[in-house]
Structure 1
């Protein structure tokens, strides 16, 4: 553990066809694109020299494949890391939703048939609690779920995740400064 407290490293999965095209992807279990595979593999040297005492992944194959290519084929599957369930908006872009619901965002509007922000936060609060019991944890998951996880790590409401844009195949690090949870590195 660092002198200030535990660290949680978060990795968003590599590119899929739908992430590339801006389509909301939760339960649809898409593979990585060729570019997504290459970018995920490029994470391996960046993570190889870091010692993790807990490595978790979403059960979706895009996250599991990213973990494998990044050097963590034995990452433990944790159902709490699945992406925000988009319900009726699965596979739909924000622009398409806004044709019928002007100004819609996942952060501010309902997702019919999907999860509420509080339901997503409840899952990710369990991941945060689990990670805080370790010196340095690593998770492989999804854009919106990791943004909510970050907000919860920082003791903020789930909607504050809207401030943390997160690209595919990126590494971010959450930690502490003294007793305060903080962002150590983002979207790198």
Structure 2
């Protein structure tokens, strides 16, 4: 039996709402983020998880707790968000005024992580995930989650730019024909924001 990866981006924070890059800054969920995390928990109730992994950041751990899986969670340091260095707390629109051609997935961040460093982290996570069996819940972050998905299916970090990932979204990384040589994305960015599980 191969692993099926349920990739969950943390719920909304004040900075995800404002569009500020949130790497190492350890902030909590907004009230809406908490509500969406609980809704995620309702969706996940029908699934039995053999493993639960979470980024050490509060926003990911809080999402995991509110989704009802905190008691089983193991902290995985490699699941943290991209280190944005000098761009921490800044918005892309403002960075582009200084560097019109800047793209995180190609250029990384000054005094932060390079795309190669983030790719190495993602590949370490994938190796760990592949060593596990059964359903795995993974609570992580927007940009890192995009890189993780790209690496899962053999794409480059640069190509992760094409995978949007909303707060409190659920994605599933799986295998076609249950074959480890055929990794696929079975579900992507399913959330209330994209089409929904609103009341």
> How high is the TM-score relative to the length of structure 2?
0.90
Structure 2: distance between partners of 1:90 and 1:47: 32
1:174 aligns with 2:176: no
- 1:51: Cα distance to partner? 1.4
Cα-Cα RMSD: 1.0
- 1:52: Cα distance to partner? 1.4
Structure 1: distance between partners of 2:102 and 2:121: 23
Structure 1: distance between partners of 2:50 and 2:42: 18
Is the partner of 2:95 in helix, strand or coil?
helix
Query: Which string of whole-angstrom CA distances, capped at 9 and with x for unpartnered residues, describes residues 55-110 of structure 1?
Result: 10000000000000001112111100000000000000001101110121201224
Query: Which string of whole-angstrom CA distances, capped at 9 and with x for unpartnered residues, describes residues 100-141 of structure 1?
Result: 101212012241010011111111111111112222211001
Structure with greater helix percent: 2
Counterpart of 1:55 in structure 2 is 52
> How many residues matched?
185
Does the CA contact (< 8 Å) of 2:54 and 2:61 recur in 1?
A: yes
Counterpart of 1:185 in structure 2 is 187
Is the partner of 1:187 in helix, strand or coil?
strand
Q: What 5-or-longer segments of structure 1 have no aligned partner? A: none
Counting only pairs closer than 5 Å after superposition, residues 1-188 of structure 1 correspond to structure 2 as: 1=1, 5-74=2-71, 75-133=73-131, 134-178=133-177, 179=179, 180-188=182-190
Q: What 5-or-longer segments of structure 2 have no aligned partner? A: 191-199
Q: Which runs of 4+ in 1 moved over 6 A?
A: none
